[in-house]
Amino acid sequence: MAGAFFDSVERARLCDLLDELGPDAPTLIGPWTTRDLAAHLVLREHDALAGPGLVLPGAWGRLAERRRTALAAKDFGGLVATIRSGPPPGFFRIGWVRRLASLNEFFVHHEDVRRANGHGPRTHEPAMQQALWRNVTCAPWFLARRLRSAGLELHWAGTATTVRARRREPAARITGPPGELLLYLFGRQDAAHVQVSGPTAAVRAVQRARFGM
């Protein structure tokens, strides 16, 4: 399957899980429930004015939160159906957006729901692994930008493949499958099944750091 379509796979699987669990199940994004997460995903793709506030602080961010709260009050089944229908015409149908931003979005949020409800790591087909690894290697320095006083290397477990996220010494190494590394970089350190190794000072710096957007 082409990498461009893995966002659709994760979208469909997440929607299936949301339908199964209903609106009040927990997620890793406490205190959000599945209802809150569904509202977030609808706003991201369908509210061009407030959508940028999901990543921008200040007044724009407050606008996004008000609109997300309003969406969360709507029928949960309708929210899930909107997500399942795919992105509207425009930005979120662009190929690189689907392969990078949307795959990250739906993969990470799928795991936010899965792991908060007792599901462990999945085994992914090789093409999906490659797609996730590609996204791990796309500007990991940004997701690790708050790491201080240490360098960081990311290692795909079971291979010789690595990427440097922070060029500094001493450096720590995080080892795991691509999906687990992506979860770690997006701030789900407690849920990600990885191994952090290296000099003690570097390991401690990584464990203290706040990763993510």
* Beta strand 151-156 pairing with 195-197: unpaired
Place of tokens 């994760």: 10
Instruction: Report pLDDT digits (tens) over 69-128.
Output: 999 999 999 999 999 999 999 999 999 999 999 999 999 999 999 999 999 999 999 999
Backbone angles phi, psi at 178, to 5 degrees: -55, -40
**Mean pLDDT within 130-155:** 95
Which domain does 143 fall in, by range?
126-208
**Mean pLDDT within 183-199:** 97
User: Are 11 and 98 in a shared domain?
Assistant: yes
User: Are 23 and 99 in a shared domain?
Assistant: yes
Residues 6+ apart with CB under 8 A from 32: 40
67 occurs within a structural domain? yes
Which DSSP symbol is given to 189? T
Asked which of 116, 136, 162 is the last residue of a domain, the reply is: 116
pTM for the complete prediction?
0.94
44 occurs within a structural domain? yes
User: Are 108 and 159 in a shared domain?
Assistant: no
Place of tokens 């995080």: 174
**Mean pLDDT within 180-201:** 97
- Nearest CA to 20 among 113, 99, 105, 91? 113
93 occurs within a structural domain? yes
Instruction: Report pLDDT digits (tens) over 18-58.
Output: 999 999 999 999 899 999 999 999 999 999 888 887 888 88
